[in-house]
Amino acid sequence: MQQSKTSMNHKDLPQFAVLQLSGCAGCEVSLLNANEWIEKFDLVYMPLVVSAYEVPPVDVLLISGGVRSDEDLYNLRRAVRFSKKVIAVGTCAISGGVANLGNRDEVRELFMSQTERRDLPRLLPKSQPVDAFVDVDLYLPGCPPTPELFMAALFDDKEFKPSKTVCQECGRKKLKDMKPKHLTGFQRGEVDPDICLINQGYLCIGSSTRGGCRALCTRPGHPCVGCRGPSDMLIEKDSKAWLESIQRVFAALTDIPPEEIREALVSPQLALFLFQFSDYAGTGRPLRSKEKVL
């Protein structure tokens, strides 16, 4: 059988690498759901799918996962030195993500006393995002970012304009006369398929969360937990501004007492989960400029 080698002349293609730090590989799995890149890029390093043991100099370096071990830190610092463009992908790499649950002191006390091993990468005191250590050219938040977002980042697609908020992409109807008096329990009760989740008393923060995910969670009825981080309106402000924005939305759409909302949003017990995905600004690090966030 005669075969051509049309698309696999790798030498002429721009090269990219994917460095996975401590994470769940969900970002990598998402990337593998896109195939537009196969003939346009040479994937030179991504241990999940390629046998290669060092990040070579590349045009684009995608970094997923948080910096959890000394090995993560070593690999990160070495990889960025020879990369033309560094993109932090996923919530863990950008704002800590679910690993922030482990950064609570009561967890660290147990963790540090129970994880002694020999001859293995040592664990750092906390899990940290990538830009705590190196400069990042572009942030691609999401848990994980959709394949569409990956492609827009990889191809540097200037035409790609994600919606401003998840709310805009959700399409559920907001009702003026359906005002719950209290928050509905997490994931509990019947969900009306067409009406705004806030009208139904769910703690949904899609109104303040960056769009681009096509409202994958809220459409089937799960409140937005903010994995894409704050929208452009809020990303250059501190987390207080973000909290206030969410509270204003609930004040307009519900009769839930403001204290109840505030408690839910800031209490580590009630919203432990919610803000692990969202806390861009509460860390003392410089705020990210919206031009650098896709």
Partner 1 sequence: MTTLTFPLSRIEGHARVEIEVRNGEVLSTRFQAMEKRGFSLMVKGVPAEQMPVIVPRICGVCSTAHHVASVKALEDAFGVQPPPLAGTIRELLMLGQLIQNQATSLFVFTMPDRLGVESIFHVSAEEAGKDVQFNIARRALMVRKLGTDLITLAGGQFIHPVKAVVGGVSSGVDSGKAAAFQQRLKVALPTACELVDMYWDISLRMKDRIGTWGDDQPAYYITSTRPEQPSFDTDSIRVMDPAGDYCGEYTAAQFHDTITYEETDYSYAGRTSYKDGVMRANSLARANMTRRMGTKLADGYLKRLREKFGSPAHPILLFDLCRGIELVYAVERAVELLALPLDEEDTDVPYTPRDGEGWGLVEAPRGPLIHHYVIENGKIATGEFIIPTVHNMLAIERALRVAAERYITADNVNMELERAVGRVVRAFDPCIACATH
Interaction residues for partner 1, span 50-89 (CB under 8 A): 50-53, 68-69, 71
**Under the criterion CB under 8 A, does residue 49 sit at the interface with partner 1?**
yes
Query: Does 220 help bind partner 1 (rule: CB under 8 A)?
Result: yes
Omega before 162 within 30 of 0, i.e. cis: no
Rounded least distance, CB 170 to partner 1, Å: 13
Which residue bears the tokens 């580590």?
268
Alpha helices in 64-217 (DSSP H): 70-81, 90-95, 105-114, 147-154, 166-170
User: Is 241 or 270 the residue whose CB approaches partner 1 more closely?
Assistant: 270
Cβ 130 to partner 1 shortest distance, Å = 16
Cα(115)–Cα(214) distance, rounded to whole angstroms?
A: 40
Options 16-24, 156-164, 228-236, 240-248: segment touching partner 1 (CB under 8 A): 16-24
Whether the CA torsion 187, 201, 268, 249 is positive or negative: it is positive
Considering only the C-alpha atoms of the chain, give the largest distance between any 2 of them, rounded to a whole number of Å: 72
Nearer to partner 1, 124 or 241 (CB): 124
CA angle 235, 58, 34 (to 5 degrees): 65
Closest CB to partner 1 among residues 101, 132:
101
Q: How far is the CB of 252 from partner 1 (least distance, A)?
A: 25
Tell me the per-residue interface mask from 244 to 283 with partner 1, x by CB under 8 A, - otherwise.
------------------------xxx-xx----------
116 binds partner 1 (CB under 8 A): yes
Asked if 187 is part of the footprint of partner 1 (rule: CB under 8 A), the reply reads: yes
Of 126, 100, 101, 98, residue with least CA distance to 112: 126
Only segment of 43-51, 152-160, 241-249, 279-287 that touches partner 1 (CB under 8 A): 43-51
With contacts defined by CB under 8 A, name the span among 7-15, 133-141, 160-168, 171-179 that binds partner 1.
Answer: 7-15
Dihedral sign, CA of 276, 281, 283, 285?
A: positive
| Binding flag, residue 111, partner 1 (CB under 8 A) | yes
Q: How far is CA 96 from the centre of its chain?
A: 9
Smallest separation, CB 213 to partner 1 (Å): 9
| Near partner 1 in 138-167, by CB under 8 A | 143-144, 146
Does the protein bind partner 1 through residue 118 (CB under 8 A)?
Answer: yes
* Amino acid present at 73: L
Token pair of 262, please? 């505030």
The answer to whether 19 contacts partner 1 (rule: CB under 8 A) is: no
**Cα 131 from Cα 153, distance rounded (Å):** 18
Q: Does 106 bind partner 1 (CB under 8 A)?
A: yes
Other CB atoms within a 10 A radius of the CB of residue 179 amount to 14
Q: Output the CA–CA distances (angstroms, integers) from residue 32 to 28, 57, 65, 142, 155, in the order listed.
A: 6, 22, 16, 16, 15
Q: Which of 27, 88, 149, 294 binds partner 1 (CB under 8 A)?
A: 27
